[in-house]
């Protein structure tokens, strides 16, 4: 099993979103673009927030957009979208959100370990503002603790 990938085409910088829906849709589009998911997954990520509220905003400025595994998940993966202007999700403490991390997994149990690795990245309080301010995708991969793709074996 390999860790959840964050390919360069799953990273979008300075996206213009007027609403949280547009921001989450962009994170879903990025997952789709990278080949991790089909379009239905994006709609399901939005439905999770419609159903349960803004709990996906798990830290100041950061939303972890996700849904359950499903047939629309081709392979597990991550996406990162940074916003030109932060948007409100309706969270009482952590709004506004400038960074959306999209997460897709094929099997909850198998991937808990890799999801938990996100904690190792974001437990550093400097990382969210640094990702929000990053101007290129390689810098975001690096902040997420991922190596240069050119140096990774295929």
Q: Which residues bind other proteins (CB under 8 A)?
A: 48, 51-56, 58-60, 64, 66-69, 91-94, 103, 105, 108, 111-112, 115-116, 118-119, 122-123, 125
Q: What tokens does 38 get?
A: 């089909």
Q: CB 119 → other proteins: shortest distance, Å? A: 5
Nearer to other proteins, 110 or 136 (CB): 110
The set of residues, in sequence order, having a beta carbon less than 8 Å from that of 88 and lying 6+ positions away, is: 20, 95, 96, 97
Nearer to other proteins, 61 or 149 (CB): 61
Nearer to other proteins, 130 or 151 (CB): 130
Cα distance from N-terminal residue to C-terminal residue, the chain: 14
Q: CB 123 → other proteins: shortest distance, Å? A: 5
DSSP 103-117: EE-S-HHHHHHHHHH
CA–CA separation, 129 vs 120, rounded Å?
16
Q: CB 151 → other proteins: shortest distance, Å? A: 27
Q: CB 55 → other proteins: shortest distance, Å? A: 4
Nearest Cα neighbor of 31 from 49, 45, 17, 14 is 45
Nearer to other proteins, 7 or 76 (CB): 76
Q: CB 68 → other proteins: shortest distance, Å? A: 5
Nearest Cα neighbor of 134 from 142, 125, 146 is 142
Nearer to other proteins, 60 or 149 (CB): 60
Nearest Cα neighbor of 80 from 21, 136, 148 is 136
């Amino acid at each position: 099993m390999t860790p959840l990938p964050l390919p360069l085409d799953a990273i979008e910088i300075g996206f213009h979103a007027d609403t949280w829906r547009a921001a989450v849709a962009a994170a879903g589009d990025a997952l789709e673009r990278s080949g991790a998911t089909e379009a239905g997954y994006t709609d399901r990520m939005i439905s999770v927030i419609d159903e349960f509220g803004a709990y996906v905003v798990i830290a100041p400025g950061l939303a972890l957009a996700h849904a359950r595994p499903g047939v629309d998940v081709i392979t597990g993966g991550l996406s990162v979208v940074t916003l030109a202007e932060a948007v409100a999700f309706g969270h009482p403490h952590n709004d506004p959100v400038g960074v959306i991390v999209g997460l897709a997994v094929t099997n909850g149990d198998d991937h808990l370990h890799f999801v938990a690795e996100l904690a190792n990245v974001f437990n550093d309080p400097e990382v969210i503002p640094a990702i929000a301010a990053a101007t290129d995708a390689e810098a975001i991969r690096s902040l997420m603790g991922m190596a240069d793709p050119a140096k990774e074996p295929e």
